[in-house]
A and B are shown apart, each in its own frame.
Chain A
């Protein structure tokens, strides 16, 4: 953080994250959990809240929630209950949501995040399990409920298992918030419990933001920011919001407790309805379900089934592969990428760092251009390892390898086959290269003289000329050596 006027103010952020679990069926019925299906085709009496229907808890969802809670270093409740949260809304089939109240499955956890801000410990207040609502599509007006002409309801999503993770107000900047969401996303991905796609809404982040003058003890007025559909949006929304609140405070304006929507296009937040005198949800224990009391053995079994979590993996990457923190940060940003790297590193005979360079520089560029994740690429980790080995052995040049990689990426073919097909082989025959080097010196007497006179700079130009004459097949290291031996020594 730079020292600016903003340092006179302190931002406090607590996040509320909703994670749709990737279970096969919904939280309280057998309907499949899907995305993007024809509206109201994945429903049944239970998730439509038809009279007489009753919920039955999805055990797998409970297990997933326990995994999340344990991975967030939470304590697990010995006695946990579902409660009903009562409020009327047309996308909620029963007009109550089966959720958890004072006895969540997990509580009192923490996550450490690191970044430019240093290391911050973000407390996890609670991890609880609930059901998702349906989806309202408001037609007409701005597309929000208050000025629409009518609303359509799609109940395919209704009853999808949803985990709510609430953090302590331990976050103090947009950067920290982004880092937290990234860390959480990587963690959830490693657990394999959710698709964690913010764009599709399987990971939804709401932020409670307040700003106060530095040194004040009372919290500022809390504003809830919604509708942030990417990690980047979280950062932008929070930056905008803290600035808006700071300016308001500076000009003596009175802030109100409200819900604000982030607008992706304008990068601003706008007021929804002012939050009414905090809603009374009339929580009471859900009488249709029985209390949940996990045994110590069950908790232990889930604990031991947890995969290596991102933090542990990062430490191991440093120790095992000798990588710097910047590389590790990039490689562990998603589990699939970290897995991909490890597979390539295992197949590769040389220093893992070389593979990292190929991934981070060249493969990333291709992935970005194609707009896909590494898991969807045609090239396999073992193929990349072999490509790097072709360079190491001098069979092809680095420059050639880049071309080969492009072909491998497009076709999925083996690097050896592509190199052969393209007639690529590196000329490392000293005798053959010697003739070309001599020719280049002869054709560029002025440049050659400069080098002879001790100006090494133009040497690169001469190397380039040799490469050109050999159609890039010359071993550049060898050419360099030959030129030096003729001109410098």
Chain B
């Protein structure tokens, strides 16, 4: 049998049901694993060991009396520290929220708790989810288990690293421009960006409201499908939540992809900045998909290349407003400096926010200013519409679009911290999907020949067509067999 830390949640569920393991045993094992990992990788901003254990004991009691809350009752989970958790400090990776204890649970957390998932703790992230490496965390970066000198990606870097290194079968991350898929790619795990509105944003600390979406990270496609099933579906507390119930994404996931039409993007195949080893693996992946019965055809997405430009106007603009509430008046950090309320607010924000957050607040404030709105924010919104239309047009002839998740594998810590633009380009293939609102997944396709680090294949689906996306990703994963092989595990 696979060592417990690497057993998938869907399999753990069966072991728990069979009485082969207990939730307490599982939780203890993961806790010990996390203890070991956390020293090396710096994954948690807050661990909730005691609570996880008491949650596990409760789960075991339910199972023994035959009324488990769900199939996964007792399977532990970690949350990116962007989800508010009742009674558990939540910082969003920022000094400005240090010490704040939320009085409520995010809908994602609440639904997972209702399914009986013990909470392991809160995971590191780039401050307010702004970044692609976790180096923008106010509490220090996390590291990639494949190579401790490299970043795990971001902003949900610690969520991806935790799952990759066997600290938990699954974890929640969030996306605004690729913050689940890119770290999933860099850490060699599965990461999902659901359709905008599929998962409630209630209790997910806002970065850019029109783009933010929570997404599962796991080692297997099935686990992500199962986790999404738990949390997806309409939430009356989020007005942008799609008013319909979500299906069970495990159903029909193994039907294969014979006859599926998969598009590869003409414009980005020739794109520069692509690491040769990444290109190689992704080409192989396309061939594998074809071998599995899909037809591969070229699609044109001419507006794709404007994604980053539009994104870096829209996201900062919304962020500049979303982050205005951190002013020291009601919660979190309050500067002791300041002769009046205006000075107190300004000093609090100067002391509490990191450089990247300040940079984006300034960008966004500028983009929304009178006289500049049309040229920047307004135009970016029009580009967004173009990208959405391009994708819609492409889906007239294909069911899915395939491309790399990230142009490179994990880069070295510190390599891009002084070059924001290089950092922003990590998300060149993921950002257009957030702008259009579609669903996408990153699934591992092995390691790059040039550095031995994982490469992710991205599959982009139509809005609300997660089922097709999971089906293709699962078929690919099973045929590749990488995740279940020793090669699919980081050397840690």
Contacts from A to B (Cβ < 8 Å):
45, 48-57, 84, 86, 88, 90, 93-96, 145, 151, 153, 280, 282-284, 287-290
Excluding A51-B97, A52-B104, A282-B365, 19 further A-B contacts by CB distance (< 8 Å) are: A45-B102, A45-B104, A50-B102, A50-B103, A50-B331, A54-B202, A54-B237, A54-B238, A54-B239, A56-B239, A57-B239, A90-B329, A94-B325, A95-B327, A153-B329, A282-B368, A283-B368, A287-B209, A287-B240
Tell me the minimal C-beta distance from A120 to chain B in angstroms. Answer: 34
* Interface pair A53/B202, CB less than 8 Å apart: yes
Q: Which of A54, A57, A151 has the most CB of B within 10 A?
A: A54
B342 adjacent to chain A (CB < 8 Å): yes
With CB as the reference atom, state the residue of chain A lying closest to B235: A54
CB proximity to A under 8 Å, residues B137-152:
none
Contact with A along B69-108 (1 / 0, CB 8 A): 0000000000000011000001010000100101110100
**How far apart are the CA atoms of A52 and B83 in the complex, in Å?**
7
| Total of A-B residue pairs, C-beta within 8 Å | 101
User: Which of chain B's residues have a CB closer than 8 A to the CB of A153?
Assistant: 329-330
B341 adjacent to chain A (CB < 8 Å): yes
* Interface pair B102/A56, CB less than 8 Å apart: no
Contacts from B to A (Cβ < 8 Å):
83-84, 90, 92, 97, 100, 102-104, 106, 201-206, 208-210, 236-240, 317-318, 320-321, 324-327, 329-331, 341-342, 345, 365, 368-370, 373, 377
* Interface pair B325/A54, CB less than 8 Å apart: no
With CB as the reference atom, state the residue of chain A lying closest to B317: A284
With CB as the reference atom, state the residue of chain B lying closest to A30: B237
Given contacts A52-B205, A289-B239, contact A96 B97 (CB under 8 A): no
Quick one: which of A52, A93, A151, A280 contacts B206, CB cutoff 8 A? A52
Given contacts A50-B103, A53-B202, A153-B329, contact A284 B97 (CB under 8 A): no
* Interface pair B324/A94, CB less than 8 Å apart: yes
**How far apart are the CA atoms of A461 and B205 in the complex, in Å?**
87
Quick one: which of B102, B341, B345 contacts A51, CB cutoff 8 A? B102
Closest 6 CB pairs of A and B: A95-B324, A287-B209, A282-B368, A287-B210, A52-B203, A52-B84
* Interface pair A51/B205, CB less than 8 Å apart: yes
User: Which of chain B's residues have a CB closer than 8 A to the CB of A93?
Assistant: 325, 330
**How far apart are the CA atoms of A53 and B329 in the complex, in Å?**
17
With CB as the reference atom, state the residue of chain B lying closest to A138: B341
**How far apart are the CA atoms of A54 and B200 in the complex, in Å?**
10
**How far apart are the CA atoms of A280 and B370 in the complex, in Å?**
6
* Interface pair A95/B84, CB less than 8 Å apart: no
User: Which of chain A's residues have a CB closer than 8 A to the CB of B204?
Assistant: 52
Quick one: which of B90, B104, B236, B239 contacts A288, CB cutoff 8 A? B239
User: Which of chain B's residues have a CB closer than 8 A to the CB of A151?
Assistant: 341
User: Which of chain A's residues have a CB closer than 8 A to the CB of B203?
Assistant: 52-53
* Interface pair B84/A288, CB less than 8 Å apart: no
**How far apart are the CA atoms of A168 and B169 in the complex, in Å?**
63
Quick one: which of A84, A86, A284, A288 contacts B240, CB cutoff 8 A? A288
* Interface pair B237/A56, CB less than 8 Å apart: yes
* Interface pair B368/A86, CB less than 8 Å apart: yes
**How far apart are the CA atoms of A390 and B26 in the complex, in Å?**
90
Query: Interface on chain A toward B: helix, strand, loop, or mixed SS?
Result: loop
* Interface pair A88/B239, CB less than 8 Å apart: no
29 contacts between A and B (CB under 8 A): A45-B103, A45-B104, A50-B84, A50-B102, A50-B103, A51-B100, A51-B205, A51-B206, A52-B102, A53-B202, A54-B202, A54-B238, A54-B239, A56-B238, A57-B239, A86-B324, A86-B368, A88-B327, A88-B342, A88-B345, A90-B341, A95-B324, A96-B321, A151-B341, A282-B370, A287-B209, A287-B210, A287-B240, A288-B240
With CB as the reference atom, state the residue of chain A lying closest to B82: A52
**How far apart are the CA atoms of A94 and B326 in the complex, in Å?**
8
* Interface pair A95/B325, CB less than 8 Å apart: yes
Tell me the minimal C-beta distance from B348 to chain A in angstroms. Answer: 11
User: Which of chain B's residues have a CB closer than 8 A to the CB of A94?
Assistant: 324-325
**How far apart are the CA atoms of A145 and B369 in the complex, in Å?**
27
**How far apart are the CA atoms of A51 and B330 in the complex, in Å?**
11
Quick one: which of B102, B236, B321, B331 contacts A284, CB cutoff 8 A? B321
Quick one: which of B97, B201, B365, B377 contacts A54, CB cutoff 8 A? B201
Tell me the minimal C-beta distance from B356 to chain A in angstroms. Answer: 18
* Interface pair B205/A288, CB less than 8 Å apart: no
Tell me the minimal C-beta distance from A31 to chain B in angstroms. Answer: 14
Tell me the minimal C-beta distance from B231 to chain A in angstroms. Answer: 15
Given contacts A96-B321, A290-B239, contact A48 B330 (CB under 8 A): yes
**How far apart are the CA atoms of A251 and B202 in the complex, in Å?**
60
User: Which of chain A's residues have a CB closer than 8 A to the CB of B320?
Assistant: 86, 282
User: Which of chain A's residues have a CB closer than 8 A to the CB of B104?
Assistant: 45, 50, 52-53
With CB as the reference atom, state the residue of chain A lying closest to B341: A90
* Interface pair B102/A55, CB less than 8 Å apart: no
User: Which of chain B's residues have a CB closer than 8 A to the CB of A49?
Assistant: 325, 330
* Interface pair B92/A51, CB less than 8 Å apart: yes
User: Which of chain B's residues have a CB closer than 8 A to the CB of A288?
Assistant: 206, 209, 239-240
Quick one: which of A53, A95, A282 contacts B369, CB cutoff 8 A? A282
With CB as the reference atom, state the residue of chain A lying closest to B200: A54
User: Which of chain A's residues have a CB closer than 8 A to the CB of B369?
Assistant: 280, 282
User: Which of chain B's residues have a CB closer than 8 A to the CB of A45?
Assistant: 102-104
**How far apart are the CA atoms of A53 and B107 in the complex, in Å?**
10
With CB as the reference atom, state the residue of chain B lying closest to A28: B239
Tell me the minimal C-beta distance from A133 to chain B in angstroms. Answer: 12
User: Which of chain A's residues have a CB closer than 8 A to the CB of B84?
Assistant: 50-52
Tell me the minimal C-beta distance from B249 to chain A in angstroms. Answer: 25
User: Which of chain B's residues have a CB closer than 8 A to the CB of A90?
Assistant: 327, 329, 341, 345
With CB as the reference atom, state the residue of chain B lying closest to A91: B329
Given contacts A45-B104, A49-B330, A52-B205, contact A290 B240 (CB under 8 A): yes
Tell me the minimal C-beta distance from B184 to chain A in angstroms. Answer: 23
* Interface pair B237/A282, CB less than 8 Å apart: no
**How far apart are the CA atoms of A55 and B206 in the complex, in Å?**
12
With CB as the reference atom, state the residue of chain B lying closest to A46: B237
**How far apart are the CA atoms of A220 and B103 in the complex, in Å?**
52
**How far apart are the CA atoms of A310 and B337 in the complex, in Å?**
56
* Interface pair A284/B368, CB less than 8 Å apart: yes
**How far apart are the CA atoms of A240 and B331 in the complex, in Å?**
44
Q: Which of A56, A95, A151, A282 has the most CB of B within 10 A?
A: A282
**How far apart are the CA atoms of A86 and B206 in the complex, in Å?**
16
**How far apart are the CA atoms of A287 and B314 in the complex, in Å?**
11
User: Which of chain A's residues have a CB closer than 8 A to the CB of B92?
Assistant: 51
**How far apart are the CA atoms of A57 and B239 in the complex, in Å?**
8
Q: Which of A52, A54, A94, A288 has the most CB of B within 10 A?
A: A52
* Interface pair A55/B331, CB less than 8 Å apart: no
User: Which of chain A's residues have a CB closer than 8 A to the CB of B202?
Assistant: 52-54
Tell me the minimal C-beta distance from A51 to chain B in angstroms. Answer: 4
Tell me the minimal C-beta distance from A147 to chain B in angstroms. Answer: 10
Tell me the minimal C-beta distance from A250 to chain B in angstroms. Answer: 36
Tell me the minimal C-beta distance from B4 to chain A in angstroms. Answer: 33
User: Which of chain A's residues have a CB closer than 8 A to the CB of B377?
Assistant: 284
Tell me the minimal C-beta distance from B366 to chain A in angstroms. Answer: 10
**How far apart are the CA atoms of A84 and B202 in the complex, in Å?**
18
User: Which of chain A's residues have a CB closer than 8 A to the CB of B326?
Assistant: 51
Tell me the minimal C-beta distance from A437 to chain B in angstroms. Answer: 82
* Interface pair B210/A96, CB less than 8 Å apart: no
**How far apart are the CA atoms of A63 and B486 in the complex, in Å?**
62
With CB as the reference atom, state the residue of chain B lying closest to A96: B321
